[in-house]
Amino acid sequence: MSGRFSQFDYGRNMNLKKYGRATSPDYDLEAITAPVALYYGDNDLLVTPHDIARLFSALKNSRDRTMKKFYTYSHFDFLWGVNVKSVVYDYILSVIDTYT
């Protein structure tokens, strides 16, 4: 892992063709001013709580930032969890309702 928040890295040759540079460009996270909510699972093997905290810190210009941990969830439970509607989706919809 690169430790960067960047666009997809196709490898040096394809990056040169796609981006005009050898490495994939970083996202300008400071340019994001819209409200952002980050949802993550404590059992996620793909994204760690440290990764989420780094992203949260990088989104410092967002009008409203929220982090919500789902303690028993893994990366894939957000899609295929048996109780995903009642545990996650209903919560997300309630957050969205506060902005409408």
Please give the C-alpha separations between residue 18 and each of 22, 23, 29, in angstroms, as whole numbers.
10, 10, 21
Tell me what pLDDT residue 29 has.
Answer: 93
Model confidence, pTM? 0.76
Listed by start position, the domains of the chain span 1-31, 33-97
Tell me what pLDDT residue 67 has.
Answer: 85
* Blockwise average pLDDT, block size 10, the chain, 100 residues: 88 98 96 91 89 91 86 92 94 90
Burial label for 17, CB within 10 Å (0-12, 13-18, 19+), is exposed
Tell me what pLDDT residue 66 has.
Answer: 84
Tell me what pLDDT residue 81 has.
Answer: 92
Tell me what pLDDT residue 1 has.
Answer: 65
Tell me what pLDDT residue 14 has.
Answer: 98
